[in-house]
Amino acid sequence: MDDVIQTFTKTLAPYVSLNFLKDFTQSLYMPRIRGARLQRFEIETAEKPLGNQQIPIYAMEKLPTLPDELTTWLQNQVPWCKDGFYLPEEVKIGQTLVHQTGCFYVQEPSAMGVVEVLQPKPGEWILDLCAAPGGKSTAIGKKLHGSGWLVANEIHPERVTVLAENLERCGVQATVTQSDPSILAAAWPEIFDAILVDAPCSGEGMFRKSAEARQEWNPELPAKCAERQKNILHEAVKLLKPGGRLVYSTCTLNPIENEWMIDWLLKHFPLRLLPINNLPNWSLGLDIPGIHPDIVKHVRRCWPHLLAGEGHFIALLEKVAPSQTTSFNHSIKKSPQREKTKSNPKDSTHLWLDFLNETWQASIPDEWRFPIQQGNVLFSQSPLPKPLVPVKTLRPGLALAHLREGKLIPHQALASGAHPSAFAKSLDLPGQEALAYLRGEAMAISTNQRGYLLLTWLDTVPLGFAKAVPGRLNNLYPKGLRRVLNS
- Is position 346 annotated in a ligand binding site? no
302 is catalytic: no
Burial 57-78 (b: 16+ CB within 10 A, else e): bbbbbebeebbebbeebbeeeb
- Is position 164 annotated in a ligand binding site? no
Instruction: Specify which residues 456 forms β-bridges with.
Output: 428, 462
DSSP 174-231: -EEE---HHHHHHHSTT-EEEEEEE-----GGGTTT-HHHHHH--TTHHHHHHHHHHH
Helices 157-169 and 135-144 meet at what angle, rounded to 10? 40
- Is position 366 annotated in a ligand binding site? no
Torsion of CA 245, 251, 256, 259, to 10 degrees: 40
- Is position 134 annotated in a ligand binding site? yes
- Is position 131 annotated in a ligand binding site? yes
Per-residue CA distances from 452 to 359, 462, 466, 473, 475 (Å): 7, 14, 6, 9, 10
Pinpoint the alpha helices (H) of 80-153: 97-100, 109-118, 135-144
Whether the upstream peptide bond of residue 133 has omega within 30° of 0, thus cis, is yes
Residue 252 phi, psi (nearest 5) = -130, 170
- Is position 2 annotated in a ligand binding site? no
Catalytic residue among 103, 201, 251, 302: 251
CA–CA gap between residue 19 and residue 27 (Å, rounded): 12
CA–CA gap between residue 400 and residue 381 (Å, rounded): 10
Is beta strand 104-106 parallel, antiparallel or unpaired with respect to 300-302?
A: unpaired
- Is position 198 annotated in a ligand binding site? yes
φ/ψ region of 196 (left if φ > 0, alpha if ψ in -120 to 50, else beta) reads beta
Per-residue CA distances from 90 to 32, 39, 87 (Å): 12, 22, 8
- Is position 459 annotated in a ligand binding site? no
CA–CA gap between residue 127 and residue 244 (Å, rounded): 11
Binding-site residues, in ranges, read 130-136, 154, 180, 198
The residues annotated as belonging to the active site are 251
- Binding-site residues for S-adenosyl-L-methionine sit at 130-136, 154, 180, 198
